[in-house]
Chains A and B, each alone.
Chain A
Amino acid sequence: DAGITQSPRHKVTETGTPVTLRCHQTENHRYMYWYRQDPGHGLRLIHYSYGVKDTDKGEVSDGYSVSRSKTEDFLLTLESATSSQTSVYFCAISSGTPSYEQYFGPGTRLTVT
């Protein structure tokens, strides 16, 4: 199994509060991704990183920011959580693109009340 961990695994927070999710990898992979999973939508890309300090937006990036100061860590921040951001968040890593498979972390279930 690819060495990917996510923390926290579960979180309940209130509307308007900032939230940071962490993804940590031990594979030294260059590419890291944040997806959200919602019923009827599959998984959708929020942001991705192609190297330390190199990030770009995905299709559902509004209300989210990311940072990558080390190869192994990719942080996702909800600047001011809203109920529409209640979701399951998955981090993924890949050693290359676009032909390489992505390996996913265990997911973080976030509930915004």
Chain B
Amino acid sequence: AQKVTQAQTEISVVEKEDVTLDCVYETRDTTYYLFWYKQPPSGELVFLIRRNSFDEQNEISGRYSWNFQKSTSSFNFTITASQVVDSAVYFCALSELYNQGGKLIFGQGTELSVKP
């Protein structure tokens, strides 16, 4: 069965610290897609990144980086030099090739608090 686990419910860091948000997934498909979304205190969901199961290259976008490892079924998200504006709930999600209309399976979310 498909499942996404974000074991860290809440993380608190001080500004400029690096922080890694963990995401572990379960799927029986060989073709699947992984996503990260950000939900700031204002409540909207913002798409951050998509990764397909055939592309294990790490991705970097500014202070954000993602580490995809199929061997451990993980897709972790690192924020370097965190800022107060990074405070949000972050969701990892999974979509499978043959699932229902491309539905996203979400993890429970990790609430990141960055203190000045």
Contacts and interface: CB of A to CB of B under 8 A. Distances in A.
Interface of A: 31, 33, 35, 40-45, 48, 50, 56, 58, 88, 90, 92, 94, 96-104, 106-107
A88 B44 CA distance: 11
Interface of B: 4, 32-33, 35, 37, 43-45, 47, 50, 52, 91, 95-97, 99-104, 106-109
A99 B95 contact: yes
Which of A48, A56, A92, A97 has most B Cβ within 10 Å?
Answer: A97
Nearest to A94: B102
Contacts of A97: 95, 101-102
A88 B89 CA distance: 15
14 contacts: A31-B102, A35-B104, A42-B106, A42-B109, A43-B104, A45-B100, A45-B104, A48-B103, A90-B45, A98-B96, A98-B97, A101-B35, A101-B47, A104-B37
Given A99-B50, A101-B35, A101-B50, A106 B44 contact: yes
Given A41-B108, A98-B96, A99-B33, A107 B103 contact: no
A64 to B, nearest CB: 15
B65 to A, nearest CB: 18
A35 B93 CA distance: 13
Given A98-B99, A99-B33, A106-B44, 7 more contacts: A42-B107, A56-B100, A56-B101, A58-B103, A103-B47, A104-B37, A107-B44
